Structure 1
Amino acid sequence: MKNNIELDFSTILATSAHDMKNSLFMLLQSIEQLNLSDNLTTQQHQSIADLHYQTSRINGSLMQLLSLYREEHNQLPFYIEENSVSEMLQEVIDRNQLFLNSHHVKVKIDVDDDLTAFFDQDLVTYLIADIFVNALRHTQSIVTLRAYADQEYVNIQVEDDGEGYPEHMLAINEQHESEFNAFKGRSGLGLLFAHKIAAAHKTNELQGHIILENKQNSDGSVFTLRLP
């Protein structure tokens, strides 16, 4: 007699994503060690940097899939506490330093060293790092990380000088959570992740949210995370 086993594909996917993420973390460490070799040419360093960059993107996507699965099943823990915004932004840069060392992209930080906000350190760092990685892909010459307090919110921005967001992505600013579409345009999964993580940060009647904009007088886009 055959047993009928009902497979939960989403659980299988989440388990596989967790295992792959652990393997990719070890791979990233190996790539970083390889880059320390003394006998590499400039071209080899750049190739290693590109490999590290692409591996980091895959690792980030798997982390987002796993987090979204846990959030849907009410299993995603949030540890919201007061953190330094400048230290968080510096960590985002440090994670991508290998790529920055091998490519001609400038990074500017515009934030008060004393600025703090209440947020989940790991999840918000992953969120901003994903937006930063996409900005590196699309920018022409410079990416700016900016943060400032504005009334009852702390705004954390990633700005580039690329081609800007397409219209269908700008439309998410007007969408309700139930209408949010994760499968359109560049970085759809990343934007859904950003939307969910932002909304999980609440204070009294205020809720975190994201805003996508294109610059008015020049090329480029601006991503804003607003935390209460």
Structure 2
Amino acid sequence: MTTNDHEQLSHPQSTQSIDFSMVLASAVHDMKNSLGMLLNSLDELRQEQAETVGDSARFNTLQYEAERMHNDLVQLLGIYRLGENNLSAHVEEHFVPDFLAQQMARHTPLLEGMGIKLAIESDEINGFFDEDLLTGVLNNTINNAIRYTKSMIKLTAAMHDEFLVIGVEDDGNGYPENMQHNGTPSFKSLNFNNGSTGLGLFFASSVAQLHSNGDRHGYIKLHNDGRLSGGVFEIWLP
């Protein structure tokens, strides 16, 4: 064996470059798909064993946490694509009340199992947005509202100042003052040293920013001025 052969065997990285971020993205994609299948199975099990698991706190916790992990993985993939400049909004026209009904239907079994009331309050309007991206935002926001609400979650939609405003309201204790804001938080503002990184809000604001009309871009707004006296998440799309 020559010296050069020995060096190639000892240092395989010299002949093979590994893009670790792509490896992670591929793994996250596979985990997301697996969790999606798990969530479908949990929905089917809830239907088949309604009398047994319908009001089970442990089953509801299992489904809630699985949904939360699924949402986190969707966001991670979105942020990876954003960092690779490979995430864009494919805007199409949608009838907003029907879109909101689809989002609520996904969470209805869990909400009913946890005794949380749900409502939709939407004007009869059409909106222009990327359905998949906005679904990711609302799934995460509804999941957060489930965690903090006391008894009710409401989806709202209306036109304000030529923006389509879609909101998620709950009757919990509301957002703390330092979280109430308009606009887009920067990635550098995320805090990975505690249990709440703000990753979901960064993803939501990034999705909003991808929606534009002329020189206007979308943004998110957090406040406590809703009719349910709890937290209100709004995404404003031009």
TM-score (norm 1): 0.88
Name the Cα RMSD after superposition. Answer: 2.4
Choose the corresponding residue for 1:181, options 190, 193, 197: 190
Query: In the alignment, which of 134, 154, 159 is matched to residue 144 of structure 1?
Result: 154
Residues 78-87 or 203-212, more deviating: 78-87
**What is the aligned counterpart of 2:116 among 77, 101, 105?**
105
Matched positions, count: 226
Give how far 1:50 is off: 2.9
Q: Which amino acid aligns with 1:209?
A: Y
Q: CA deviation at 1:75?
A: 1.6
Pair 1:88 & 2:107 matched: no
Give the direction of change, closer, same or farther, for the CA distance of 1:205–1:180 in structure 2 (3 Å limit): farther
Which digits, 9 at most, give the CA deviation of each residue in 1:23-50, with x for residues without a partner?
1111112212222225842566553333
Identity of aligned residues (%): 37
Any residues of structure 2 matched to 1:27-176 within 5 Å, and which?
27-38=38-49, 40-42=51-53, 45-112=56-123, 114-170=124-180, 172-173=181-182
Measure, in 2, the Cα distance between the counterparts of 1:143 and 1:187. Answer: 23
Q: Retained in 1: the 8 A contact 2:222–2:233?
A: yes
Are 1:215 and 2:225 matched, yes or no?
Answer: yes
SS at match of 2:233: strand
- What is the match of residue 203 of structure 1? 213
SS of the aligned residue for 1:41 comes to helix
Which one-letter code corresponds to 2:152 in the other structure? Answer: I
CA separation of 1:182/1:145 partners in 2, compared to 1, >3 Å: closer, same or farther?
A: farther
Q: Which stretches in structure 2 are left out of the alignment for 5+ residues? A: 1-6
Cα distance in 2, alignment partners of residues 42 and 30 from structure 1: 13
Q: 1:185 to 1:146 in 2, by over 3 A?
A: farther
> In 1, distance between residues paired with 2:98 and 2:164?
15
Is the alpha carbon distance of 1:6 and 1:81 closer, same or farther for their aligned partners in structure 2, counting shifts above 3 Å?
A: same
| Corresponding position: 1:8 with 2:19 | yes
Larger radius of gyration: 2
**Aligned-partner Cα distance in 1 for 2:112–2:53:** 11
Distance 1:39 1:200 in 2: 41
TM-score normalized by structure 2?
0.85
Question: Which stretch of the first structure deviates more once superposed, 41-50 or 9-18?
Answer: 41-50
Looking at structure 1, the residues matched to 185 and 201 of structure 2 have their Cα atoms a distance apart, in angstroms, of: 14
